Structure 1
Amino acid sequence: MSGIKILWADDEIEMLKPQLFFLEKKGYEVVTVSNGYDALDELKENNDIDVIFLDESMPGITGLETLAKIKETSPNIPVVMITKNEAENLMEEAIGSQIDDYLIKPVNPNQILLTLKKIVDNKRLVSEKTASDYQQEFRKILMDINSGLDVEGWVETYRKIINWELKLDESEVEQMMDILSMQKNEANSEFSKYVVRNYESWLKGDGPTMSNTLMRKKVFPILEENKPTVMLLLDNLRYDQWKMIEPIFMELFKKEDEDYFFSILPTSTQYSRNAIFSGLMPLEIQKMHPDWWLNDNEEGGKNLKEKELLEDQIKRVMRKDIKSEYIKVTNTYYGKMLNDNIQNYVQNDLTVIVYNFIDMLSHARTEMEVLKELVRDEKAYRSLTVSWFKNSPLWTALQKIADKDIRLVVTTDHGTIRVNQPSRVVGDRETTTNLRYKVGRNLKYEKKDVLESVDPHKFGLPKPNVSSRFIFAKADKFFLYPNNYNYYNNFYTDTFQHGGISLEEIICPVVTLVSK
């Protein structure tokens, strides 16, 4: 291993010549100093130090004092403490001060090598192993994608792709990330064809749990156990984002079950979330509650009756008295109210909390240059989701009820996909503006890019007009009108959108947790 530079501070450096010679033979460069002050000076002048070996007992300032100053100026450089003293309190203090390893004198050359391998080479070795493992898995996933998968097969393949994506995030092997990205595109292309072939039959009951059956299949059955249940719906939460925030939940909760449901089309809040809370398809909502449904082309909020739809579904399906409450958090004021009142909510049989943040994040990223810069790619999108969640009033609220005997169901309404391929659409003034689906009368479009619904009623969707039809974008396509085409292409390429057909938008997590 060459190219690694070690700074070694020890007042008995002359006695360490065999160890230094051993390291140099192995290709390491070693800079030596005899006290803590010189170590700090060397660190100031030398910005390419990779690891520091620090003697605990040196004249002047001690190893621990030197360590504290190193961590102030260079917190990311690994430090190995070397000591004659095995006193427990000393080791505890050193470890508490974030040393990466420690060695007891006399130092054995092989011990030094092992420590260096562990600290410096660890990331490289993990990266190489991850890349090698993915290369072996690549062919199997490719064969699966093209093997005529069923619902379970697609869910499993999607989970595999996401798990590899998260592993490769850590390893930072760019070439492998590019290959995985191509594989995900291929998977989305085949998955879109699968949805086109099967969507209508799913709506007849021959398929996965979908938005309109989610509560009936996944939530209402557990209410029978007479344990307070909190259903947390994080708008726009993708499976990969769930996997990133899952470890935070696991600090306080145990996982009972991790399952999935398929969002209905369009994979947008107006359709999928109303379907979840009503237990009905949009066309059925319009027929049963005409005053509660607004079509895309009608003025007004499209999700203002979720509370009433939920209450109606509980009465219709449960057929018994259920003490329920519906809370919607759309800004920090409502987030604080949730935090203040969370203890009261666990007195209910069912509390539904809809938390709008991830959806706002994806929309804001489209509009704001500073967010585009911050959330450059999928990895950054996931990372920002984690940062938000850790520091949100929501997590603070959940911590307050973690010791209660409750059940927590974490889910979403639909996911979102990063779009990259524009597809031209021509429509009249009544045509909707969504980039992933369109509703209109006189639509002209690239048939290969879409799933078309000439008769929306077959998809359980209302018709704004007699001749209205829906089209849904496949994979990572997005719809653009011919006017100002180049401007909007540049503006929307590489943004997160939803409403169409992709693994990310349709396959949604539904996770059941209990208090530890």
Structure 2
Amino acid sequence: MDAITILWADDEIDLLKPHILFLEEKGYQVLPTPSGDDALDILEENRVDIVLLDENMPGLSGLETLEIIKSKYPSLPVIMITKSEEEFIMEEAIGSKISDYLIKPVNPKQILLSLKKNLDTSRLVSEKSTSKYQQEFRQIGMTLGDRLDHEEWADVYKKLVYWELELDKSKETGMDEILHMQKNEANSQFCKFVENNYTYWLSHPEDAPVMSQSLFKNYVIPELKKKDNSVFFIVIDNLRYDQWKTLAPIISQDYWIDKEDVFYSILPTTTQYSRNSIFAGMMPGEIAKRYPDKWSNDEDDGGKNLHEEFFIEEQLKRNNLNIKFSYNKVLNVSYGNKVLNEIPGMFNNPLNVIVYNFVDMLSHARTDTQIVKELASDEAAYRSVVKSWFEHSTLYEIIKEIAARGGKLIITTDHGSIRVKEASKIVGDKEVNTNLRYKQGKTLSYVEKNVLAIKNPEDAHLPKVNVSQSFVFAKDDYFFAYPNNYNHYVKYYKDTFQHGGISLEEMLIPVVMLSPKK
């Protein structure tokens, strides 16, 4: 690797010879110059990695030199060095996008630290991240062998997501593969955990984690009973926990994160079941019995989430909250702008519910559209696309407007998604639903080791359409494929993001309480 080249411009450069020798001993190449004009000439003729620039030079000043450097070489890092502690000089330099600011007298080690911070950070962070994950890998591996409860599983998943994001930043591909293997092992164990506990939780809610049907009661109702401010409850359809962690730094510019949890989506992990359960405060089986005209089964025509506003109203009444609320479902930019314009008036309501559907639409578009598939080719790219969308979305504008007016915010989702890898054959009659991660029907034939089968839907508090109906949920990263035209089907859906089954990514999903910074 070539030596890092430093351009050092200072009118007292001759007095800095000991500093230059120290840096050269550390392997740096230093190009010294006594003026800003000379510094610009050197940049025309040489490849330079970083500039050390004295602020107070005769002729072309440091700030003037900085402005020219940044106009010609915008990505070249510049460290400003000055005798002055005047605040306006610091502000001018920082406004011109300097990389660091040092006040004279500086010692060689201060300069070395600044150089490493600006030139070597990515390598040092990568090495540190790799070393730390290697230690954590063993600890997580030992934990997976224990009998974990639902809270411990949430902690394991948070750790895996943390390291996924850290290694993604460090671009350490070797450790990436090891993490992927550990996530696969974790998902395998998690599926067994869900298989052993899911129906028990539903009949013993006192031992259960917070799930879709209890989310509103545990997070929204207590805030409404405080009666101290408007509460905005935003549901971003199909938002995974790792995607939330990518959005969190952006939202944190306007909000304090008071509480960040994960809760368990019910099965099937789809909007039709999970989001209706959130808003109704009931499992799908109870919704179908109590409001038969408001529930649609898989085989029924028409939309499956058409009565969410009604379910919210009913749940509020059951909790003795006879309050005004608004409900909006955003499916496009124009409706998003309409909601944005209506935010001021929403502060007259104790509760405002906003459903935002973009991430789910992106997931489906990725399956069907080649260009979207290439843009979101893997988990890291998928996170990046979601982040880019959010930064330029009306949803972000809505959140900033709520913060500016002092609104309380709760952000959550209805389910996550998993990148499917392996096909699992299934056979059913013509009434079987089309979802790739769960199937329900009368005559299902499947590979038993790849699924959780619920022979009696009532055990999982799901609607029972007929006597012989059953549900099966794909485990791990399997997706269902029919024997007819099997190879084409597998090729088309492999590596797509799907939901409906059992995995950490689909079931363990974020719910976040936020307070405005203003």
Could you tell me the TM-score, scaled by structure 2's length? 0.92
For residue 412 of structure 2, what is the amino acid of its counterpart? Answer: T
Deviation (angstroms), 1:303 = 0.7
For residue 503 of structure 1, what is the amino acid of its counterpart? Answer: L
Q: Distance in 1 between matches of 2:463 and 2:420?
A: 27
The answer to whether structure 1 residue 419 and structure 2 residue 401 are counterparts is no
For residue 491 of structure 1, what is the amino acid of its counterpart? Answer: Y
Deviation (angstroms), 1:57 = 5.1
Aligned twin of 1:193: 192
Aligned twin of 1:100: 99
Aligned twin of 2:66: 67
Q: Distance in 2 between matches of 1:32 and 1:84?
A: 19
Q: 1:122 to 1:289 in 2, by over 3 A?
A: same
Deviation (angstroms), 1:431 = 2.0
Q: 1:45 to 1:348 in 2, by over 3 A?
A: same
The answer to whether structure 1 residue 249 and structure 2 residue 251 are counterparts is yes
Contact 1:297 1:464 in 2 (8 A): no
Deviation (angstroms), 1:461 = 1.6
Counterparts of residues 434-449 of structure 1 (less than 5 Å): 434-449=435-450
For residue 26 of structure 2, what is the amino acid of its counterpart? Answer: K
Q: Distance in 2 between matches of 1:172 and 1:322?
A: 50
| Stretch moving more, 450-459 or 238-247 | 238-247
Deviation (angstroms), 1:102 = 3.5
SS of alignment partner, residue 282 of structure 2:
coil
Deviation (angstroms), 1:20 = 3.5
Q: 1:181 to 1:37 in 2, by over 3 A?
A: farther
Q: 1:137 to 1:342 in 2, by over 3 A?
A: same
Q: Distance in 2 between matches of 1:314 and 1:141?
A: 41
Aligned twin of 1:114: 113
Aligned twin of 1:374: 375
Deviation (angstroms), 1:451 = 0.6
Q: 1:276 to 1:40 in 2, by over 3 A?
A: same
Aligned twin of 1:503: 504
Q: Distance in 2 between matches of 1:489 and 1:290?
A: 37
SS of alignment partner, residue 278 of structure 2:
helix
The answer to whether structure 1 residue 276 and structure 2 residue 285 are counterparts is no
Deviation (angstroms), 1:462 = 2.0
Query: Which of the residues 264, 267, 276 maps onto 1:262?
Result: 264
Let me know the Cα RMSD of the aligned residues.
2.5
Aligned twin of 2:331: 330
The answer to whether structure 1 residue 128 and structure 2 residue 130 are counterparts is no
Q: Distance in 1 between matches of 2:320 and 2:11?
A: 80
Q: 1:111 to 1:277 in 2, by over 3 A?
A: closer
Q: Distance in 1 between matches of 2:469 and 2:336?
A: 39
Contact 1:2 1:26 in 2 (8 A): no
Deviation (angstroms), 1:26 = 1.8
Q: 1:280 to 1:108 in 2, by over 3 A?
A: closer
Q: 1:217 to 1:118 in 2, by over 3 A?
A: closer
Aligned twin of 2:233: 231
For residue 227 of structure 2, what is the amino acid of its counterpart? Answer: N
Q: 1:374 to 1:52 in 2, by over 3 A?
A: farther
For residue 409 of structure 1, what is the amino acid of its counterpart? Answer: I
| Stretch moving more, 390-399 or 130-139 | 390-399
Deviation (angstroms), 1:68 = 2.5
SS of alignment partner, residue 256 of structure 2:
strand
Q: Distance in 2 between matches of 1:37 and 1:180?
A: 51
The answer to whether structure 1 residue 24 and structure 2 residue 31 are counterparts is no
SS of alignment partner, residue 149 of structure 1:
coil
Deviation (angstroms), 1:12 = 6.0
Q: 1:105 to 1:457 in 2, by over 3 A?
A: closer
Unpaired segments ≥5 residues, structure 1: none
Query: Which of the residues 280, 292, 295 maps onto 1:293?
Result: 295
Q: Alpha-carbon deviations, 1:364-421, whole Å to 9, x = none?
A: 2222222222223222222332332232222222322325454322111111112222
| Stretch moving more, 341-350 or 244-253 | 244-253
Aligned twin of 1:480: 481
Q: 1:102 to 1:345 in 2, by over 3 A?
A: closer
Contact 1:230 1:346 in 2 (8 A): no
The answer to whether structure 1 residue 4 and structure 2 residue 7 are counterparts is no
For residue 146 of structure 2, what is the amino acid of its counterpart? Answer: S
Q: Distance in 1 between matches of 2:106 and 2:251?
A: 42
Q: Alpha-carbon deviations, 1:247-266, whole Å to 9, x = none?
A: 33333333333333211101
For residue 229 of structure 1, what is the amino acid of its counterpart? Answer: V
SS of alignment partner, residue 226 of structure 2:
coil
Deviation (angstroms), 1:69 = 3.3
Aligned twin of 2:159: 160
| Stretch moving more, 448-457 or 169-178 | 169-178
Q: Distance in 2 between matches of 1:39 and 1:431?
A: 73
Unpaired segments ≥5 residues, structure 2: none
For residue 78 of structure 1, what is the amino acid of its counterpart? Answer: P
SS of alignment partner, residue 291 of structure 1:
coil
Q: 1:115 to 1:344 in 2, by over 3 A?
A: same
Q: Distance in 1 between matches of 2:296 and 2:350?
A: 30
Deviation (angstroms), 1:15 = 5.6
Contact 1:412 1:509 in 2 (8 A): yes
Aligned twin of 1:513: 514
| Stretch moving more, 408-417 or 216-225 | 216-225
Q: Distance in 1 between matches of 2:429 and 2:33?
A: 77
For residue 22 of structure 2, what is the amino acid of its counterpart? Answer: F
| Stretch moving more, 506-515 or 13-22 | 13-22
Deviation (angstroms), 1:190 = 0.4
Deviation (angstroms), 1:16 = 4.8
Could you tell me the TM-score, scaled by structure 1's length? 0.92
Q: Alpha-carbon deviations, 1:422-466, whole Å to 9, x = none?
A: 222223322222111112333222211111112222112224444
Q: Distance in 2 between matches of 1:251 and 1:422?
A: 42
| Stretch moving more, 362-371 or 131-140 | 362-371
Q: 1:58 to 1:186 in 2, by over 3 A?
A: same
Contact 1:2 1:27 in 2 (8 A): no
Aligned twin of 2:215: 214
Q: Alpha-carbon deviations, 1:442-493, whole Å to 9, x = none?
A: 3222211111112222112224444232111111111222333333333322
Deviation (angstroms), 1:150 = 0.5
Q: Distance in 2 between matches of 1:141 and 1:261?
A: 21
Q: Distance in 2 between matches of 1:323 and 1:110?
A: 63
For residue 120 of structure 2, what is the amino acid of its counterpart? Answer: D
Q: Distance in 1 between matches of 2:485 and 2:49?
A: 52
Q: Percent identity, aligned pairs only?
A: 55
Aligned residues: 514
SS of alignment partner, residue 185 of structure 2:
helix
Q: 1:146 to 1:57 in 2, by over 3 A?
A: same
Q: Distance in 1 between matches of 2:264 and 2:105?
A: 62
Q: 1:494 to 1:36 in 2, by over 3 A?
A: farther
